Amino acid sequence: MAVTWWASPAKLNLFLHITGRYEDGYHALQTVFQMLDYGDEIGVETSDTGEISLAQSISGVADHENLVYRAAKLLQTETRTTEGAKLHIHKRLPMGGGVGGGSSNAATTLCALNSMWRTALNQSELIELGQQLGADVPVFIHGRTTFAEGTGDKFTDITTPDTVFLVAHPNVHVSTQAIFTAADLPRKTPVISSQHYSFNATQNDCQEIVCKRHPEVAKLLQWLLQFAPSRMTGTGACVFSVFSDRISAEKTLKQLPSQWSGFIAQGVHTSPLLKQLKQYSI
Ligand SMILES: C[C@@](CO)(OP(=O)(O)O)[C@H](O)COP(=O)(O)OP(=O)(O)OC[C@H]1O[C@@H](n2ccc(N)nc2=O)[C@H](O)[C@@H]1O
Ligand SMILES: Nc1ncnc2c1ncn2[C@@H]1O[C@H](COP(=O)(O)OP(=O)(O)O)[C@@H](O)[C@H]1O
């Protein structure tokens, strides 16, 4: 059976405000999820054996914990389909870096298999399944650059300026849970309206404590700020810089000190996955 490849794009949090905390300990957030044209790819070979397998493992992640495998199992169980699949993962995105690779892989697997297995769940049913896999899975099923609230699950789509991003990884790992349980994390940022969003009037509330705990993130941020406005995404560790043209972004990437790595991506309104799904269903 031939492999059909599906886009699994990255996201950036252009800002991240923590506006409160729910009783279950989760934080109320406001953020803009910016979809990028760059990411991983998930290859799907369907079969009628009912078996689900990964064609290759990801280092450090047990196969049964891999979000691609878990997403496929969840859809199969929920829809009671007798179909199976062999799933390939072409990784480009740094893991646990705040660009949402794992969540995006889960979203792509759910959406791609729902099309290829013809299980016919609608978008809100897929989002409900996605929520069970992680807080950032729903936005990748939604597939548009959007202003998000709640735990990142209430969406108001917005149009952001045409931007080329340099996304850089400081090669340190930041634990999302450790940041959200930190006593000194600001948790009372006033709520803003999606209509009044601007990059310059917002911040990432996690950035200061991540920089304190992980000096390498602070160092990378300082280095990038010489060239363009820059900010951390999510709970880190990646930092992005905002450029109006690709040539300047590429020039800066070429100068990136060798202890760090990075990639260039164009901000997009509609994710490459959503575009592909529309074409597939025509
Ligand atoms: C805050 C964001 C913004 O994009 O950070 P990044 O992961 O992208 O860096 C995400 O929503 C994160 O999503 P995700 O990484 O999937 O979080 P989960 O696995 O659901 O939660 C990890 C841990 O973070 C804490 N957590 C997460 C989200 C939230 N709104 N409040 C929290 O307090 C919880 O303690 C939870 O145990
Ligand atoms: N297919 C996958 N790709 C990436 N990470 C995965 C995958 N499956 C499980 N994980 C686990 O999920 C964690 C978070 O992944 P990721 O979405 O890349 O982080 P972030 O939300 O910080 O961008 C990883 O550190 C890894 O342990």
Question: Which residue's entry shows tokens 């997009």?
Answer: 268
The single-letter DSSP state of residue 233 is: -
Q: At what angle do helices 272-281 and 101-116 cross, to 10 degrees?
A: 0
111: left (phi over 0), alpha (psi -120 to 50) or beta: alpha
- CA of 31 from ligand 2 middle (Å) equals 20
- CA of 103 from ligand 2 middle (Å) equals 7
Pair 210, 237: CB distance under 8 Å: yes
Note the ipTM here.
0.96
Determine the Cα–Cα distance for residues 152 and 239; give it in Å rounded to an integer.
Answer: 20
Please work out whether the CB of residue 151 comes within 6 Å of at least one atom of ligand 1.
Answer: yes
All domains in the chain, ordered by first residue: 4-157+269-281 (3.30.230.10), 164-268 (3.30.70.890)
pLDDT in tens, 116-136: 999 999 999 999 999 999 999
Question: Which residues, at least 6 apart from 260, have a Cβ–Cβ distance to it below 8 Å?
Answer: 168, 169, 170, 171, 220
pTM above 0.80, yes or no: yes
Q: Is 94 annotated as a binding residue?
A: yes
From first to last of the 282 residues of the chain, give the pLDDT tens digit.
799 999 999 999 999 999 999 999 899 999 999 999 999 999 999 999 999 999 999 999 999 999 999 999 999 999 999 999 999 999 999 998 999 999 999 999 999 999 999 999 999 999 999 999 999 999 999 999 999 999 888 999 999 999 999 999 999 999 999 999 999 999 999 999 999 899 999 999 999 999 999 999 999 999 999 999 999 999 999 999 999 999 999 999 999 999 999 999 999 999 999 999 999 976
Measuring from atom 27 of ligand 1, which residue has the nearest CA? 26
Please work out whether the CB of residue 160 comes within 6 Å of at least one atom of ligand 2.
Answer: no
Backbone angles phi, psi at 160, to 5 degrees: -100, 160
pLDDT in tens, 217-239: 999 999 999 999 999 999 999 99
Determine the Cα–Cα distance for residues 118 and 96; give it in Å rounded to an integer.
Answer: 32
Please work out whether the CB of residue 94 comes within 6 Å of at least one atom of ligand 2.
Answer: no
Q: At what angle do helices 123-131 and 101-116 cross, to 10 degrees?
A: 140
Please work out whether the CB of residue 11 comes within 6 Å of at least one atom of ligand 1.
Answer: no
Atom of ligand 2 nearest to the CA of 103: 17
Q: Say if residue 10 is preceded by a cis peptide, omega within 30 of 0.
A: no
Determine the Cα–Cα distance for residues 235 and 237; give it in Å rounded to an integer.
Answer: 7
